[in-house]
Structure 1
Amino acid sequence: MVDTTRTPGAELQRLVDIMQRLRAQDGCPWDREQDLRSLRPYLLEEAFEVLEEMDRVGYGGSWRTFCEELGDLLFQIVFHAQLGAELGEFTMADVAGAISDKLISRHPHVFGGLGGVDGAEQVLANWAKLKAEERKKKTGSEGSVLDGVPVAAPALMRAERLTEKASRIGFDWPDLASVRGKLAEELDELDEAIASGDRDAIEHELGDVLFSLANLARFIKAPAEDALRMAIRRFTTRFQHIESQLRAEGVPFGEAKLEHMERHWQVAKQQEKSLPPPAWLPRAAVSTLRFQVADLPAQRAFWDALAPRLGWSTGKPHPDSASYGNGALRVVFEAGKPGVAPPAGGALILTLEAPSLRAVERLGAALEEARPGTGAELREGRLTFRDPAGLVWEYATSTG
């Protein structure tokens, strides 16, 4: 259960105060000895531990452990901010303020009163333009759209991010078939290089194949780095099963035949398939939900008031439609006859995910005060209400 009595600001200030105490003259000797160079491995280690916990959560692991690892990573950020403060360079407030200012300036469709955008692709395109404008103000040059991808990032991740950034200004394949065709072309060229025996040519063509695979991964929205990490996880689990079975059978180390190990490998694969599915899986992105409504003005008035409370933006005004969204989901209401009929046995209920139980309670109170005719019902952390078009909505946490 989320503790709503503690606020992010107060707890972050407490962490900053603890860090200052650790670095004080009478603080912790180890913390006092650290500098930017010595902290590098710890920052990387904590970031990778967060990534591991993200993977575990995806397979039904504990969100609480994930929370703890995020705290360890946050401590590294606070530690670096303290070093900056001691030198008079910047403080933790500057770090938080800078990213807040950046997010506001790069989301004019949310904070700038410019109205909505037509989906996530337009958001990314606008982001690239705004970054270029920022670079020009700072350096006098727009620089490259590829700037900002760390050279030290894992190569597969970097390849995918580079192609993504290039796509934001239109440098991209037109469709999935073209991307897949390019991969086939690169595989043919790799086969030719292998046949030639030229090591330089093999390395060159293998690099092109891996780059094409990373681009394909971006196109099908299955990050190559994540996919490979999960494949490594499966390989490790299966191979350790082989080792365990060979030890149980008394087979001396290194003396098992390939056919023997392959049998155990296949058993491990079958065991994986027999396991229950993960408790949580990433949701597929939903672009647009479109409804025809009989009374568009009433629907617009209702959702114009409700959208800000959900953290949604309102689309550009149009006489025949009204749109609202949060960057991942867009809901459009169009003038016309109602297009949603309740299925047999009950009403269609559309569920929106709430960030917390407190958010559910706040929205329920707001609807009760401003829109008493919605038939809003709050029960067990789940809010159900009806809009003017008769659509039934549910607002609840993912665990509600």
Structure 2
Amino acid sequence: MGTPGAELERLVGIMRRLRAEGGCPWDREQDLRSLRPYLVEEAFEVLDEMDRVAQGGPWHPLCEELGDLLFQIVFHAQLASELGEFTMADVSKAISDKITSRHPHVFGEQQVDGAEQVLANWAKLKAEERKRKTGKEGSVLDGVPTAAPALLRAERLTEKASRIGFDWPDLAGVRGKLAEELAELDAAIATGERDAIEHELGDVLFSLANLARFVKTPAEDALRMAIRRFTTRFQHIESALHDEGVPFGGATLEHMERHWQAAKAQEKALPPPLSLPRAPVSTLRLGVPHLEAQRGFWDSVATTLGWSAPRGAPDTACYDTGSVRLVFHGAERPATGATFTLEAPSTLALIRLRQVMEQAHPGSVVDSSDARLTFRDPAGLMWEYIPFAG
């Protein structure tokens, strides 16, 4: 497993090769303008995987999508490097310098009292940076992209304003403001005036975004998850109507509502994930001298790893990892001399497996830390359990 620095250097080298004479024709044709949609697309794919993780999904696909997003950053840095503007090293140095300077309570002598003071200091430090660069402090609202989704932008603007004290003192005030804006929207709807409705509806949405900030539930995330639920439920309706032979557009609202409520009930009935994502292993078939002892050991360990134990031949012990099948079979001598690596979906999974080892198989753990668990099974085979590298 390489270090982050070494792997980043490797990626920069790959990008340089792709852009060089004799490299990839497509990569050589790209410029900042043509790469814009890919950057946005990769960022949204990262968000999709973050949502799946939040719902109990595996972490590794998020690792892959973060890699795709990082590739876009390296691509842009390579374009700048070819023009003599800056390099990937300059990008890394700039953000490292910025983060260090904005955390004097970590990298300096400053003392803070909680996260709120950290944010207030952050705003002051940014203003000082702007003044050094431009001669003016600028606005505390600077830095929120105008192209960002509107709900996200509204929340970030209110957050920035709060850093200099422009904020409601408590949640009750925010909730009261939302009620006030809703009443004004009702009055505008009663007039039927389009401009007035748009104005008041905007105020309601802005107040909702501010409320989301107060309850620490980002409005953009909440809406995105609501859209996911709507899509799942509506597709359930479509599937149910198709199974019933109802022609397209032929169902009544009451009929569709029944299926909608059934979809909601089905969501609530789904149990939370009971196991962590399966851990991949690059092993096929191993001979062991004491098959029953091996089976007894791995029957308990496999459950913790999320593997299944399909029935194989009578003289084998089989475990399905989700990608390959691990098969132990009888042999006069154990297949020792190698260490097999399993990839843990999280540090929590590593801790959980260590607990199983210590309780069910005392003495099997050879080495243990927050980043690695090494254990030996009854056949003398060595195994490492390591969290995914992000």
TM-score, scaled to structure 2: 0.71
Q: What is the aligned partner in structure 2 of residue 27 from structure 1? A: 23
1:59 corresponds to which of 51, 55, 59: 55
Larger Rg: 2
2:132 is equivalent to residue 137 of structure 1: yes
Count of matched residue pairs = 290
Aligned equivalent of 1:300: none
Match of 2:193 in 1: 198
Q: Specify every segment of 5 or more residues in structure 2 that has no aligned partner in the other structure, as ranges.
A: 276-345, 351-365, 372-385
Counterpart of 1:71 in structure 2 is: 67
Q: Alpha-carbon deviations, 1:5-44, whole Å to 9, x = none?
A: 3100000000000000000010000000000000000000
Query: Is the 8 Å Cα contact of residues 347 and 370 (structure 2) preserved in structure 1?
Result: no
| Alpha-carbon spacing, 1:123–1:227, altered in 2? closer, same or farther (3 Å) | same
Residue 297 of structure 2: aligned partner: none
Question: Does the residue aligned with 1:222 lie in a helix, a strand or coil?
Answer: coil
Change (3 A) 1:398 1:213: farther
Distance 2:251 2:368 in 1: 57
Partner AA of 1:48 in structure 2: F
CA contact (8 A) 2:18 2:24 kept: yes
Indicate conservation of the 8 Å contact 1:59/1:279, yes or no: no
Q: Residue in 1 aligned with 2:271?
A: 276
- 1:97 corresponds to which of 79, 93, 98: 93
Once residues 142 and 36 of structure 2 are traced to their aligned partners in structure 1, the CA distance between those partners, rounded to angstroms, is 22
Per-residue deviation, residues 226-278 of structure 1 (Å, max 9, x unmatched): 00000000000000000000000000000100000000000000000011235
What secondary structure sits across from 2:205 in the alignment?
A: helix
Q: How many Å separate the matches in 1 of 2:85 and 2:274?
A: 45
**What does residue range 102-113 of structure 1 map to in structure 2 within 5 Å?**
102-113=98-109
Q: Which amino acid aligns with 2:96?
A: S
- 1:255 is matched with 250
Question: Is the Cα contact below 8 Å between 1:58 and 1:278 reproduced in 2?
Answer: no
Are the counterparts in 1 of residues 154 and 210 from structure 2 also a CA contact under 8 Å?
A: yes
2:214 is the alignment partner of 1:219: yes
1:149 aligns with 2:140: no
Q: Equivalent of 2:182, from 184, 187, 198?
A: 187
TM-superposed CA distance for 1:113, in Å, is 2.2
Superposition deviation, residue 398 in structure 1: 9.8
Of 207, 217, 225, which aligns to 1:230? Answer: 225
Moved over 4 A (4+): 353-357
- C-alpha RMSD of the superposition: 2.2
CA pair 174-112 structure 1, distance change in 2 beyond 3 A = same
Q: Amino acid of the residue matched to residue 233 of structure 1?
A: R
| Alpha-carbon distance in structure 2 between the residues aligned to 1:379 and 1:30 | 48
Contact 1:23 1:31 in 2 (8 A): yes
Change (3 A) 1:32 1:146: same
Q: Is the 8 A contact 2:155 2:212 kept in 1?
A: yes
Which residue does 1:119 correspond to in 2?
114
Tell me, what secondary structure is at the counterpart of 1:250? coil
In the TM superposition, residue 184 of structure 1 has moved relative to its aligned partner by 0.2
Cα gap change, 1:355 to 1:118, in 2 (>3 Å): farther
Alpha-carbon separation, structure 2, partners of 1:16 and 1:279 = 40
Shift of 1:112: 1.2
**Is the contact made by 1:150 and 1:158 (CA closer than 8 Å) also made in structure 2?**
yes
Task: Give the secondary structure class of the aligned counterpart of 1:117.
Answer: coil
Q: Is the 8 A contact 2:77 2:88 kept in 1?
A: yes
Answering whether residue 77 of structure 2 is matched by residue 81 of structure 1, we say yes
Q: Match of 2:68, as an amino acid?
A: D
1:59/1:74 CA distance change after superposition, 3 Å: same
Structure 1 distance, partners of 2:125, 2:80, is 28
User: Counterparts of 2:202 and 2:80 in 1: how far apart (Å)?
Assistant: 40
Q: Distance in 2 between matches of 1:382 and 1:174?
A: 41
User: 1:84, 1:91 within 8 Å by CA — same for their partners in 2?
Assistant: yes
Distance across 1 between alignment mates of 2:273 and 2:163: 34
Q: Which runs of 5+ in 1 are unaligned?
A: 281-352, 358-377, 384-396
| 1:9 alignment counterpart | 5
**Cα distance per residue 1:92-121 (max 9 Å; x no partner):** 00000000000010000110122x311111
Pairwise CA distance, 1:61: 1.1
Task: Measure the CA separation in 2 of the matches of 1:231 and 1:146.
Answer: 28
Shift of 1:355: 10
Secondary structure of 2:248's partner?
coil
1: CA distance, partners of 2:265 / 2:103: 48
What SS class does the counterpart of residue 18 from structure 1 fall into? helix
> Is the CA contact 1:160–1:224 (under 8 Å) kept in the aligned structure 2?
yes
- Identical residues among aligned pairs (%): 80
Q: 1:82: Cα distance to partner?
A: 0.1
After TM superposition, the score normalised by the length of structure 1 is 0.70
Deviation of 1:380 (Å):
4.7
